[in-house]
Each structure stands twice: as structure tokens, then as C-alpha cells.
Amino acid sequence: MLQPIRTLALAGLLSLASHAALAAGNPLSVHILDLQSGQPTPGVTVDLEQKTAAGWRALGSAVTDAQGRIREMFPAKERFAAGEYRVVFHTGEHFAKIKQPTFFPEIPVPFTVEDAAQHYHIPLLLSPYGYSTYRGN
């Protein structure tokens, strides 16, 4: 009886490790926490854009998971390089779903990549009438 439990536990750990290894290869992740409830914010669309001489170029879009995370925000088909980027959190959709008014229907967060070899993590602490963000790890 103990052997099947060990096998299941090992399989779960290997699955988590392989997922972490895949996510570790992606240079950009985001996370949204709802300050009002203290809970993650799933189902929020986040766009990624890169600044060019002509303006902002769309690179991709993803939706936060059940933990309020997008672990692999940077698209695999693109080359991560130094420069200016921004993530745009479409928070109005989230607040509309929970029938809560908000002052910020979307939150653009511009940031500068100086070393493309590093991982960049952008957490968003969200409430209906305010937000905070910082460079995480």
C-alpha cells in the first residue's frame, strides 16, 4: 500500500520540477494579488508590448491562472533583449466579473530590461481604487 503512495508522490514532485524548469527558462512572469480579499486574481488578461521607434509593438497576451500567475509571459518565438517593454493588466474585466466598480480599467506597467540574461517578475497588488507594483524575483 505504501509503494503506490510513494510512486504518486514522486510523480507529483517530478511534474512540479519539470514545470518549474520550463518556467525558469522564460525571462518574464507576472502575478496579481487582490489586496481587498488577500487572494490571487485568476482570469485576468495581460498583454506584453515592446517599445520601438514606431510605438508599442504587441508581443503576446496571456491570462492569469488559478494562482493569479502567468509563469511564461514572454513568447518563445521572440528574442528577449535589452530595451523598454510594458505589461498591460486588463483589470476592468476582472472587476466587471465580480460586479465591483473600479477606477483603473487597465494598468500599464512599463519597465526596462537592462540584462536579458536575468529573469524579470512583475507582481501587481490590486484593489478597486489603487494598485502597487515592483520588480519581484
Is 121 marked within a binding site?
Answer: no
Which three three-digit cell numbers place residue 133? Answer: 507594483
- The reply, when asked if residue 120 is annotated as ligand binding, is no
Cross-strand pairs, 28: 120
Q: Is 86 annotated as a binding residue?
A: no
> SS3 of 113, please?
strand
Burial label for 46, CB within 10 Å (0-12, 13-18, 19+), is buried
Q: Report the C-alpha gap between 96 and 82 in whole angstroms.
A: 36
- The single residue listed with the C-alpha cell 501587481 is 124
> Is the backbone of residue 95 left (phi > 0), alpha (psi -120 to 50) or beta?
alpha
Query: Binding site, residues?
Result: 31, 69, 134
What residues form the annotated binding site for substrate?
Answer: 31, 69, 134
